[in-house]
Amino acid sequence: MKILIVLSALKYGGAEKQAIVDANSLVGCGYQVTIAYNENGGLISLLSKSVKQYRIKSKNVFLASLQLSYHLLFNKYDIIHCHMFWAEKVSALPGKLTGHKIVFNEHGLGLWREWYHILIMKFISKFADRIITSCDATKRARIKRERLNKDKLVTLYNSFNETGGKNINENISEFLRNKEEFIIGFIGRFNAVKRLKIFIDIAKGLKGLIPNFKIVLVGNGEEMESIKRGIKEKKLEKYFYLPGFELNTKQYYNTFDVFVLPSVREACSVALLEAGASGVPAIAFDVGGNAEIIKDNATGFIIPEGDIDSLTGRIKFFYKNREKKRKMGDAAKEYIKINFSIKNRVQNLKRLYQELCFLKGEI
């Protein structure tokens, strides 16, 4: 079976990372996979050499659609799998006009979309044969906001990355190797949605209460410099470590005592999955699909949206109750392994692809 995976960029992000994991896993199952993208990025080094690459030269949706149309005239695929809005807009009409089965993969809640985005989504969704939602919260949001056809929607959870784990970064800060430090971690994009400035408030709240804590924020993005300025203005530099973008995130998860996800909105966070798979209990606000990943008071804590006092209190709880922290981390590891494994996701993807090809009369 030949699969074309389409996405905007190979830069760090949960959806992008999931697309690459899908491509690598499907190749491992004997599928022929091509990944089409517009913008290169650091994640390309994670892509299996067996996955073919096709570069879409323009970011402009119209020009990108024309180029993809030409490609599809001379390259036949069984399934076109589009990750996120740009890829869906670029692929919908060309894919349908060339007789392909099309799968949309909606990773987010779509709360950012304006009325005209919603109209576009309603239109292009008519060309999709199936629409994968990354969690039930995403499915509910799509039905409520965009009135998408329920019969096309299927929840297929993201999965955690089972690879990695070697300490390949020799410059990793010394305090990450210091077992006496209590490490509060985050990995992801540095943008407004992630609400990372809240870590400055967390540091102020923990200062003097936990003598040896450190906050490690791994990633990059447009909020990086403002966060650094905020840390400096509050004279909290000694409590923070910001290594920037890292491919080998496993080495950081292995040092975290607790993972904190303070996002304003989330769907099925890959970072939460990877933290749990690494045996790290997590704390997150009760938004989107967080409660589908964290079993409250069992694998971590779900707290009221925006409640910084509760967030800081749960961090202090883990600091004072190390054995409880360990048990919750072990429970998280088992829960994620059972419910969010790559094996489960790929089996469900294969089943979906085969169903669509059967409807098409090719099996």
Average of pLDDT values for 214-240? 95
Asked if the structure places residue 165 within a domain, the reply is no
Regarding beta strands 300-303 and 282-285, do their DSSP bridges make them parallel or antiparallel, or are they unpaired?
Answer: parallel
pLDDT at 174: 63
Residue 218 neighbours by CB distance under 10 Å: 22
Same domain (yes/no): 250, 351? no
Residues 19 and 89 in one domain: yes
Q: How far apart are CA 331 and CA 187, in angstroms?
A: 21
Q: Centre a 10 Å sphere on the Cβ of residue 107 and count the other Cβ atoms it contains.
A: 24
**pLDDT tens readout for residues 137-165:** 999 998 988 888 889 999 999 997 665 44
What's the pLDDT tens digit per position in 85-113?
Answer: 999 999 999 999 999 999 999 998 888 88
Beta-carbon contacts of 267 under 8 Å, excluding residues fewer than 6 positions away, are: 107, 108, 109, 133, 134, 135, 137, 138, 288, 289
> What is the C-alpha separation between 205 and 326, in angstroms, rounded?
24
* Residues 211 and 63 occupy one common structural domain: no
Asked whether residue 139 falls in the same domain as residue 66, the answer is: yes
CA distances from 254 to 18, 125, 315, 327 (A): 21, 41, 17, 16
Q: Are residues 180 and 60 in the same domain?
A: no
Distance CA 89, CA 130 (A): 15
Mean pLDDT of the chain: 91
Do 29 and 116 reside in the same domain of the chain? yes
Q: Same domain, yes or no, for 54 and 155?
A: yes
Could you tell me which residue, 126 or 363, shows the higher pLDDT?
Answer: 126
- The verdict on 326 and 220 lying in the same domain is yes
Q: Report the pLDDT averaged over residues 175-193.
A: 85
Q: Is 334 exposed, middle or buried (0-12, 13-18, 19+ CB in 10 A)?
A: middle
CATH (domain of 210): 3.40.50.2000
pTM attached to this predicted model: 0.84
The answer to the question of residue 166 being in a domain is: no
Q: Which residues does residue 4 pair with via DSSP β-bridges, in sequence order?
A: 34, 80
Task: Give the C-alpha separation, 88 to 5, whole Å.
Answer: 11
Distance (Å, whole) CA 247 – CA 242: 14
Residue 167 forms part of a structural domain: no
Q: What phi, psi does 217 have (nearest 5°)?
A: -115, 105
pLDDT tens sequence across 34-79: 999 999 988 888 899 999 999 999 999 999 999 999 999 999 999 9
- Domain hosting 13: range is 2-159+341-360
- Domains contained in the chain, number: 2
Helix (H) or strand (E) holding 5: strand 2-9
Question: Residue 145 domain-assigned?
Answer: yes
Provide the pLDDT confidence category of residue 202 given band limits of 50, 70 and 90: very high
Measured distance CA(281)–CA(256) in Å, rounded: 9
Instruction: Tell me how far apart the alpha carbons of residues 181 and 81 are, in angstroms, rounded to a whole number.
Output: 44
CA distance 291 to 303: 10
Considering the domain architecture, whether residues 190 and 280 belong to the same structural domain is answered as yes
State residue 34's pLDDT score.
98
Asked if residue 226 and residue 114 are part of one domain, the reply reads: no
CA distance 254 to 216: 12
Residue 13 lies in a domain: yes
Residue 140 counted as domain residue: yes
**DSSP letters spanning 207-258:** TTTSTTEEEEEE--STTHHHHHHHHHHTT-GGGEEEEE--S-THHHHTT-SE
User: For position 109, what pLDDT does the model report?
Assistant: 87
Phi, psi of 183 (to 5 degrees): -100, 120
- Quick one: 346 and 322 in the same domain? no
Q: Is residue 169 part of a domain?
A: no
Half-sphere exposure of 297 (CA within 13 A, CB side): 0
Spatial strand order in the sheet of 240-244: 240-244, 213-218, 182-187, 258-261, 282-285, 300-303
Torsion angle, alpha carbons of 336, 339, 343, 349, to 10: -130
State both tokens at 155.
């929840």
Q: 274 is written with which tokens?
A: 């990877």
224, 265: one domain: yes
User: For residue 24, is it within any domain?
Assistant: yes
- What is the pLDDT at residue 363? 46
Residues ≥6 apart with Cβ < 8 Å to 229: none
